[in-house]
Amino acid sequence: MRMGKASRPLKLDADKVVATLDHLRVRIAERFPDSGLAEVSAQLTATARVTAQRAHRLSRPYLFLRTLVTLIGVGALGLEAALIARLDWLASLRGASTLTLAQGLEPAVNLVLLSGAAIWFLLSLEARWKRSRVQKALHELRSFAHVIDMHQLTKDPTLVLGPRTASSPAREMSRFELARYLDYCAEMLALTAKLAALYAGESNDSIVIAAVNDIETLASDLGRKIWQKIMILGQLDETRAE
C-alpha cells in the first residue's frame, strides 16, 4: 500500500501487486515447471500488468466528452444571453400580459432544459463507458478464480490414505509438493482479489465496488476450501509423527 497526500486515503500499489504476482509465477514455474498451474500463473501475471494500466486509466477523465460538455455549456449560455437580449423588457413590463412574457421566455427555458439534458447525458455516458469496461475486466478475473479452483479441485489430501480405485486421481505429488501446490493456489486466489480491488481504488461507482466485493468474497470462499485441505495435510503429518 501507499499513501499519497494527507487528504487521500490509502490504496493498493498496483506495481507491488504485479511484482508479487510475478514472483509467485517464478516460484510456481521452478517448483512445477510443466504444470497447468504454471501456465495459469503466467497468464494471470500478464493480466495483472494490463489490469494495473486499466485501473490507472480509470481515474482519468474522458477529455473528449468533458470538452464537448464545456462547448455545449458555453454555447447554451451564449444562445441564452442572445435570446434574453432580444426581448423588449420595458414593453413587456409595461403593457404585455403574463402570457406574452411567458411566450417570449419559452425558447430560453427550452434551451436551458435541452442543454442541461445533453450535459447530463454526456456526463453519465462517461460513467457508463467506464463501468462497462471494468465489468468486462472483472468478469475475466472471476474466470481466473474459477480456473484456479479447478486446478486444486482434484488435489485431495485424503488420497494419501487407503488404496486407490481405477478412477482415483493419479498420485504424482509428495505430501510436501501437494501442500506447496495448494498454497500456491491460495496465493493466486488472494492476488486475484487484489487485482479486482485495484479497480475499486480508482472508482466511486457503487456498481463497480459491489462487483469487486463479489470477486473478493468468491476468492475468499474458494481460498477457505484450500486452507482446509492444507490443515488436513498438517493433521495427517502430525498423526504419522505420533
How high is the mean pLDDT of the chain? 79
pLDDT tens figures, 97-148? 555 555 555 666 666 666 676 667 767 777 888 888 899 999 999 999 999 9
pLDDT tens figures, 175-194? 888 889 999 999 999 999 99
The mean pLDDT of 222-231, rounded to a whole number, is 90
The whole-angstrom separation of Cα 94 and Cα 108 is 21
The mean pLDDT of 1-26, rounded to a whole number, is 77
Residue 190's alpha-carbon distances to 138, 193, 206, in angstroms, are 15, 5, 22
pLDDT tens figures, 16-54? 999 999 999 999 999 999 899 999 999 999 999 999 988
The CA-based angle 122-124-127, given to 5 degrees, is 115
Residue 231's alpha-carbon distances to 64, 156, 177, in angstroms, are 55, 12, 14
The torsion angles phi and psi of 11, rounded to 5 degrees, stand at -150, 160
Instruction: Provide the pLDDT for residue 111.
Output: 60
**This prediction's pTM:** 0.72
The mean pLDDT of 1-25, rounded to a whole number, is 76
The whole-angstrom separation of Cα 239 and Cα 235 is 6
Q: Which ranges of the chain would DSSP assign to H, the alpha helix? A: 14-31, 36-58, 63-86, 89-94, 98-153, 175-201, 206-241
Per-residue DSSP letter, 160:
G
Say if residue 61's pLDDT is above 70.
no
Residue 81's alpha-carbon distances to 78, 105, 111, 234, in angstroms, are 5, 12, 11, 79
Instruction: Provide the pLDDT for residue 4.
Output: 47
Instruction: Provide the pLDDT for residue 80.
Output: 64
Residue 108 cell numbers, joined? 430560453
The whole-angstrom separation of Cα 232 and Cα 64 is 57
Instruction: Provide the pLDDT for residue 160.
Output: 59
